[in-house]
Amino acid sequence: MTTSRVLAYQGRPVLVATRHGKADPLQRPFGRCLGVNLWSPADLDTDRFGTFSGEVARPGSPEAMLHAKIQLARAEYDAPLALASEGSYGPHPWLPGAALGQEWLLWQDAEQNLTVMEQLWTLRVHYGAYDVSSVAELRPAMQRCGWPQLALTLATSQPGLPVYKALRDLSEIEQCWQQLQAASGSAVVVATDMRAHLHPGRQRAIGRLGARLAHRLACSCPACGRPGFGRWQWQHGLPCADCDSPTSQRWRRWLRCDHCGHGQPQSAVATSADPRWCPRCNP
């Protein structure tokens, strides 16, 4: 593949529009691939764009939130290069008991008017959230949320009541639970605190996603020369072994440029499909 290292970013500072320690897992891949130095402002209020514990609902799509975070940071800091991260965790739609995580990462280069986004789906990051309405259920729910290795949040669905975060101490958790239960008269939601600085698994996921985005930014498009070549998707249509017709089988990765639309194939998963998948040989 004709790609070249993007040297233009070497030694430049990159603002990470976050306040929950996401610059740490991102520094390694971005330092290695692009030679940039990541930093985040100490006092950026990104919680206004939604919190995991639900006291602030996310006001828009993840992509819109990423743009809003960078815009907020740029209003205060002169930062042509910026990164923003967003995560969402919840019950898996069809695997009972499993959690599904999504992470997004957006790179914005204001000088080149360039935006590159990458996304990661993960089943590996621990997440739990349970309604707890009796003290007997509390301890098992805490453990299913990853306690004591991971910190917890306690919240109710009732507006106006506090949301407790970063809880690790057992007696403190019991106290908070009792207080919320008495005040709301209903179940209290015990959940894993998903903020990155408290969750090593989430930090690793952000690091993996960072490596993916940084590698992409280090590749410039063979057609238009802009950085960020290589958004990939599966191309179907693996040719039939007997008649060469395209089948519905997965064929190869297709890499493309978001700016000019240029695309090219990457490694194929197979060279030909079994004729039983062929619409002509086996209609």
Q: Cβ closer to Zn ion: 137 or 242? A: 242
Q: Smallest distance, Å, CB 10 to Zn ion?
A: 22
The bridge status of strand 37-39 relative to strand 13-16 is parallel
Q: Cβ closer to Zn ion: 204 or 262? A: 262
Q: Cβ closer to Zn ion: 17 or 116? A: 116
Which residue's structure tokens are 């690793």? 204
Q: Smallest distance, Å, CB 61 to Zn ion?
A: 25
Helical ranges in 185-276 per DSSP H: 200-217
Task: Measure the CA angle with vertex 271, ends 270 and 274; round to 5°.
Answer: 80
Q: Smallest distance, Å, CB 171 to Zn ion?
A: 58
Binding site residues, Zn ion, CB under 5 A: 221, 223-224, 240, 242-243, 245, 257, 259-260, 262, 275, 278, 280-281
Which residue's structure tokens are 């030694």? 11
Q: Smallest distance, Å, CB 112 to Zn ion?
A: 12
Q: Smallest distance, Å, CB 259 to Zn ion?
A: 5
Q: Cβ closer to Zn ion: 174 or 274? A: 274
Q: Cβ closer to Zn ion: 158 or 266? A: 266
Element housing 63 (H / E):
helix 62-76
Look up residue 165 and give its DSSP letter.
Answer: E
Closest CA to 125 of 153, 101, 95: 101
Rg from Cα positions in the chain: 23
